[in-house]
């Protein structure tokens, strides 16, 4: 692939793409900038390990992915939630007890999901809704759904059991759906 890597050109050549990649995943401009900066520093520090099997941007994005995962791991370890006790935010909802309560059933979205994922307005609402999730829930959702990590990898990174991950994702999806229905539909 590339035989000559010039770290002096990284900021000019790759910062915009790395920033776009990070901002979609962390939904925080300052944090995205910090992660890109950390990526460049890690790239410089580990330049001797770059084997040239991929292009420089691909290598830097791989470093950035690791930084994003580390960010969510740190963020999710700040608060612990007990799954043995019911979550007070869902106390009045009686989550899916045998069947849907018609008045509380999800609304029909009647939209093509592929088209809507490209819709900028939808993504802004989704990002805003993710910000309202508890930190651990947001971390799990972003890593599993947006980063498309395997469940066992998310569990390992965030130090969760698979059943805890399932509960967190279930609750996060319910809250996101409710938020999207109120804010967008």
More reliable by pLDDT, 125 or 94: 125
Q: How far apart are CA 159 and CA 77, in angstroms?
A: 9
Digit-coded pLDDT (tens) for 43-66: 999 888 888 788 889 999 999 999
pLDDT at 137 over 50: yes
* Tokens representing residue 43 in the block: 């790239």
Per-residue pLDDT, 3: 45
For the stretch 115-124, pLDDT in tens is 655 577 778 8
All residues at 6 or more sequence positions from 172 whose CB lies less than 8 Å from its CB, including other chains: 133, 137, 138, 140, 141
Task: Work out the number of other CB atoms within 10 angstroms of the CB of residue 71.
Answer: 21
State the Cα angle at 11 between 9 and 13, rounded to 5°.
Answer: 65
Mean pLDDT of the chain: 80
Residue 72 class from Cβ within 10 Å (0-12 exposed, 13-18 middle, 19+ buried)?
buried
The pTM assigned to this predicted structure is 0.56
The residue with greater pLDDT, 101 or 148, is 148
Q: What is the pLDDT of residue 47?
A: 87
For the cut 70, the answer to whether the pLDDT of residue 92 exceeds it is no
pLDDT at residue number 123? 80
Q: What is the pLDDT of residue 79?
A: 55
Q: 40 falls in which pLDDT band (50, 70, 90)?
A: very high
Q: Where are the domains of the chain?
A: 7-77, 81-184
Which region among 21-35, 72-86, 114-128, 170-184 has the lowest average model confidence (pLDDT)? Answer: 72-86
Provide the CATH topology of domain 7-77: Rna Polymerase Sigma Factor; Chain: A (1.10.1740)
């Amino acid at each position: 692939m590339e035989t000559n890597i010039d770290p002096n050109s990284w900021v000019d050549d790759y910062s915009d793409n790395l920033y776009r990649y990070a901002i979609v995943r962390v939904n925080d401009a300052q944090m995205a900038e910090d992660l890109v900066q950390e990526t460049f520093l890690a790239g410089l520090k580990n330049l001797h390990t770059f084997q040239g099997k991929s292009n420089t941007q691909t290598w830097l994005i791989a470093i950035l992915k690791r930084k994003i995962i580390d960010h969510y791991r740190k963020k999710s370890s700040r608060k612990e939630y007990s799954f043995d006790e019911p979550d007070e935010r869902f106390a009045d909802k009686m989550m899916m007890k045998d069947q849907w309560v018609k008045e509380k059933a999800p609304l029909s979205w009647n939209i093509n999901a592929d088209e809507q994922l490209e819709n900028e307005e939808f993504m802004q609402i989704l990002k805003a809704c993710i910000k309202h999730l508890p930190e651990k829930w947001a971390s799990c959702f972003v890593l599993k759904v947006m980063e498309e990590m395997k469940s066992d990898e998310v569990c390992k990174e965030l130090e969760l059991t698979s059943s805890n991950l399932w509960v967190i994702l279930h609750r996060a999806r319910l809250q996101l759906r409710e938020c999207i229905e109120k804010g967008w539909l």
